[in-house]
Structure 1
Amino acid sequence: MTLRRTTVLAASGLMMLGACADPSMTGTSPTAAPAAGMSRTQQGALAGAAVGALYGATRDSDNNNQGRDAARGAILGAAAGAIAGNILDRQAAALEQSISNPNVQIVNHGSYLQVILPEGILFATDSAAVSGPAQSDLYAVARNLNQYPNSRVEVIGHTDSTGTAAYNQDLSQRRAQSVAGILAAAGVASNRLVAVGRGQTQPIASNDSVQGRAQNRRVEIIIRPT
């Protein structure tokens, strides 16, 4: 059996895994909507099957049972991927229910979650002190992280291009540290947290307009399962 055929067979088995998926987790919100009608559980299983098949085949030392090893790897990978995808589905849904500010975006990328907090709800201009209302939402994020402890958390600060690059780098770092500090104060283990400033280097919109600059001034919380 060739590696390609094994991977295709493993992917075909995804339909059986899909039958076990929680139907309530299929596209409950625009930010977590599954691609091509598939839940994150199913997408995770498919990706895990492909990676597992490749890993299983390459682990065979004499190539005598490459097809069998690929099949075993695909099965194990699909199961692990399905579990990870289902957990992210549930964590994203819980976050959406617990965060009160509608301007906070929660994006499920399939392998990690991204929480996007605009500057306007976090900080005053040129300040790294988190506002009172925003602290409530950050405590909600912290409770969620403690409910789902098997992840590492990257807090990333971003600015627009107004001012010098050095100033923006420093401001973004201080803002990331402020947000990470609140998560830690709310009980998230410090060894799970990393705070990074990106300054003006990673815009998501044009800095030539007021609206674009406002989008670029943000803090992102990236939640990666471990």
Structure 2
Amino acid sequence: MKRYSIIVLALSSLLVLSGCSTDPYTGEQKVANTTTGALIGGAVGAGIGVLSSSKSDRGKGALIGATSGAVLGGGVGLYMDNQEAKLRDKLRNSGVSVTRSGDSIILNMPNNVTFDTNSSTLKPMGTQTLTSVALVLKEYSKTAINIVGHTDSTGSNAVNQTLSLNRANSVANLLIQQGISANRMYAYGAGSSQPIASNSTDTGRAQNRRVEITLSPIQ
């Protein structure tokens, strides 16, 4: 088994060395998400290769499994890496933040971009921004789209729940109008239950009034 561990370790080291890069937004060195996916896929693939091979061929099985797993795992990471880069380019200076979490991409759309107070009708700026997002989503069709509306704590829970859901549906409907399949989307309202800032200040409440779009690879 030591021999198989060395094979996986060697492959992992090669992937890490080839996957390190400088984040253009922070200036920090990081391991690309492509590499992370490849490492996970390689480790899993190596294990499967060992278990599915005869004793005399386990070294070969581990290498084949690790390589195959790395390609599959890295492919998902690369797909999301490229999609993230396109979204960052399209949304530059739009007021919408783009955050990466593993293989998921989160778009945070604040209310000053999307909706007026107590309204679920998209502003022209929101429509323009989502049209840009739709262009990328059309290109990357193997991505699931989770749309969540959020409000601040002003008003009753019932009002906030309805408003947040209507806003999420407005975003979903606009994307559908732009040619994105409804089967890829799930929209719901979280009301004021998931604040990202304090509701005791105007600034905090403004941050909590938002729509978040999470993009994840379709497995």
Q: For residues 15-54 of structure 1, what are the structure 2 equivalents within 5 Å?
A: 15-17=13-15, 26-30=22-26, 37-53=30-46
Q: What is the CA deviation profile of residues 35-77 of structure 1, one whole-angstrom value per residue up to 9, with x for unaligned ones?
A: x6211211221222334445666x7599998877665543332
Preserved CA contact (<8 Å) 1:88 1:108: no
Is 1:81–2:73 an aligned residue pair?
Answer: yes
Change (3 A) 1:190 1:67: same
Tell me the distance in 2 between the aligned counterparts of 1:100 and 1:65. 52
TM-score of the two chains, using structure 2 as the length reference: 0.85
Amino acid at match of 1:128: S
Displacement, 1:17?
A: 3.7
Q: Percent identity?
A: 37
Change (3 A) 1:177 1:16: same
Q: Which residue of 1 aligns with 2:150?
A: 158
Structure 1: unaligned runs, 5 residues or longer: none
2:197 to 195, 202, 205: 205
Q: What is the CA deviation profile of residues 114-171 of structure 1, one whole-angstrom value per residue up to 9, with x for unaligned ones?
A: 1110111100000000001111110110010001111111111111111111111111
Q: Which has the higher strand share?
A: 2
Preserved CA contact (<8 Å) 1:41 1:81: yes
Q: Which residue of 2 aligns with 1:225?
A: 217
Preserved CA contact (<8 Å) 2:15 2:39: no
Q: Which moved more, 1:207-216 or 1:154-163?
A: 207-216
Displacement, 1:6?
A: 4.8
2:11 to 7, 10, 13: 13
Tell me the distance in 2 between the aligned counterparts of 1:67 and 1:166. 61
Q: Which residue of 2 aligns with 1:185?
A: 177
Displacement, 1:93?
A: 1.0
Change (3 A) 1:131 1:147: same
Preserved CA contact (<8 Å) 1:101 1:137: no
TM-score of the two chains, using structure 1 as the length reference: 0.82
2:188 partner SS: strand
Q: Which residue of 1 aligns with 2:96?
A: 104
Q: Which residue of 2 aligns with 1:148?
A: 140
Give the paired residue count.
Answer: 218
Is 1:170–2:162 an aligned residue pair?
Answer: yes
Displacement, 1:26?
A: 4.8
Preserved CA contact (<8 Å) 1:88 1:112: yes
User: How large is the Cα RMSD of the aligned pairs?
Assistant: 2.9
